[in-house]
Amino acid sequence: MDEGLYKNTVMGMKLHDGRAAFGIKGGTNGGLRGRGAGLNPEGRFESTRREAVDGDWAPGSAEDGDPLPPLRTTVTREEAKSILTRNDSPDIPFSWSINPYRGCEHGCIYCYARPSHAYLDLSPGLDFETRLFAKVNAALLLQEALARPGHEVDTIALGANTDPYQPVEREYRITRSVIEVLADCRHPFAIVTKNALVLRDLDLLAPLGAARLCRVFISITTLDAGLARHLEPRASAPARRLEAVRALKDAGVPVGVMVAPVIPFLTDDSVERILEASAEAGAEAAAYVLLRLPYEIKGLFQDWLERHYPLKAEHVMQRMRAMRGGRENDPRFGSRMVGDGTLAALLRQRFEKALRRFGMGSERMPLDGSQFRPPALGGQQRLF
């Protein structure tokens, strides 16, 4: 994405130049170029529902043959009240997380964070990938949190909900400011991203990696560039992500790969190829997550399947139900990430076998929390 996309300011929101706005909640766009969702349904907490109606009076309808205008992205500067989120799920290998942004322009149709936009009275569909919020005071809040007496030092995850290196980070640089605070405090952290933009911050990450204070996991869903364009329209191409793995490894940053999500009949056949290519690029460890379809994601994903892969749509959903105890989503701890039943067990065996074959580990690379030093606030110097 070009550096100059975020220039105009209107009513406190930054807009992409040259993009016209379109879309209301409840509507459908049939798949806009560069966007993942084809729907903009209301969030589950809203009391009203809107329904799109085709007719010859509607501009841009299929009848008049005019294409719908592209959606613009808006970014609202947000003064957050807190920045550290405590996680107590037994499925998640970290205690703290930071999300510099709400919403994500990558537009991954499967993103489990989409339903969080409903808390803002916005749609988990197109709103999630076009109406973003930047937590501009994240670094200051982090300093205050780390300075509190009794702060529990444990790995902080950047990118637990939305990608910290999504395209808007080029301008807002909130993720970089957060890393600068963590570097100054010698606090361990981990990054998960599917954007090669992470390489911009190698000047910070390389010395921290050498000191066992950071690790990076690159998310690679598929090696098929065409499929990736549909699944993750504004994320880095698979080849660029492998290049990022190699560059991180060469810089001395501990790097692994997340094969996530694994989607039956779409990406599950490429698990071994992803691991082989990742190992060749220098990845030390890998993990996977089976596709999850909580809340509104189920409808968004099914619509996406019908638009892009109609002949596979029902097969994909049948296999998902077979790996989720007969349901389309399984929220239970212990199975929600990896599935349940014979087919899920076979996937797990394939993955573990491939890890051994390519010399990769399944364990997270350990980080060192003993180096932590609380930040000095208000100009006060550290005593030690």
- Residue 325's nearest CA partner among 288, 290, 362 is 290
**Residue 4 belongs to some domain of the structure:** no
- What's 118's DSSP letter? G
Backbone angles phi, psi at 321, to 5 degrees: -65, -35
Say yes or no to pLDDT of 268 above 90.
yes
Non-local (6+) Cβ contacts of 98 within 8 A are 83, 84, 85, 138, 142, 156, 157, 158, 160, 164, 178
Residue 47's CB: how many other CB atoms inside 10 A? 5
Cα–Cα distance, 171 to 6 (Å, whole number): 8
User: Residue 88 maps to which CATH number?
Assistant: 3.80.30.30
Residues β-bridged to residue 192: 217
Q: What's the pLDDT score for residue 88?
A: 79
Q: Which two tokens stand for residue 363?
A: 């364990």
* More confident position, 114 or 362: 114
pLDDT band at 64 (very low <50, low <70, confident <90, very high): very low
Q: Can you give the pLDDT at residue 48?
A: 60
Cα dihedral 21, 233, 320, 344, rounded to 10, equals -150
Q: What is the pTM of this model?
A: 0.86
Give the count of domains, the chain: 1
- Quote the Cα angle for 56-62-66, to 5°: 95
Strand partners, 74: 15, 131
Q: What is the mean pLDDT of residues 290-304?
A: 96
**Position 362 in a domain:** no
The candidate with the shortest Cα–Cα distance to 191, out of 208, 168, 170, 172, is: 208
Range of the domain at 293: 77-357
Q: How many CB atoms lie within 10 A of CB 66?
A: 10
The yes-or-no verdict on residue 215 having pLDDT over 50 is yes
Task: Count the Cβ atoms, other than its own, within 10 Å of residue 57.
Answer: 9
Q: 320-330: buried (b, 16+ CB within 10 Å) or exposed (e) per residue?
A: bbbbbeeebbb
The three state secondary structure string of 331-369 is: CCCCCCCCCCCHHHHHHHHHHHHHHHHCCCECCCCCCCC
Q: Spell out the alpha helix ranges (H) of the chain.
A: 126-130, 138-147, 169-172, 174-185, 202-210, 225-231, 238-250, 271-281, 297-308, 313-322, 342-357
The answer to the question of residue 43 being in a domain is no
Exposed/middle/buried for residue 83 (C-beta within 10 Å: 0-12, 13-18, 19+) = buried
To 10 degrees, what angle do helices 313-322 and 297-308 make?
A: 140
Which residue's structure tokens are 């808390």? 119
Percent of the chain with pLDDT over 90: 72
Examine residue 340 and state whether it is found in any structural domain, yes or no: yes
User: What's the length of the chain?
Assistant: 384
Per-residue pLDDT, averaged over 259-274, amounts to 97
Q: Which long-range contacts (CB under 8 A, 24 or more apart) does 236-244 make?
A: 236/194, 236/195, 236/196, 236/197, 240/196, 241/194, 241/196, 242/218, 242/277, 242/278, 242/281, 243/196, 243/281, 244/196, 244/198, 244/199, 244/218
SS3 374: coil
| pLDDT of 74 over the 60 cut | yes
**Domain for residue 197, yes or no?**
yes
Q: What is the pLDDT at residue 61?
A: 43
pLDDT at 353: 98
Are 127 and 117 in contact by the 8 Å Cβ rule? The answer is: yes
- On whether residue 232 sits in a domain, the answer given is yes
Decide if 34 is inside a domain: no
On the CB side of 356, CA atoms within 13 Å amount to 5
71 Rama class: left (phi>0) / alpha (psi -120 to 50) / beta: beta
The confidence score (pLDDT) of residue 68 equals 56
- Residue 20 banded pLDDT, cuts 50, 70, 90: very low
- Computed over its alpha carbons, how large is the radius of gyration of the chain? 21
What is the per-residue pLDDT for 191? 97
Whether the pLDDT of residue 30 is over 60: the answer is no
pLDDT tier at 46, thresholds 50, 70, 90? low
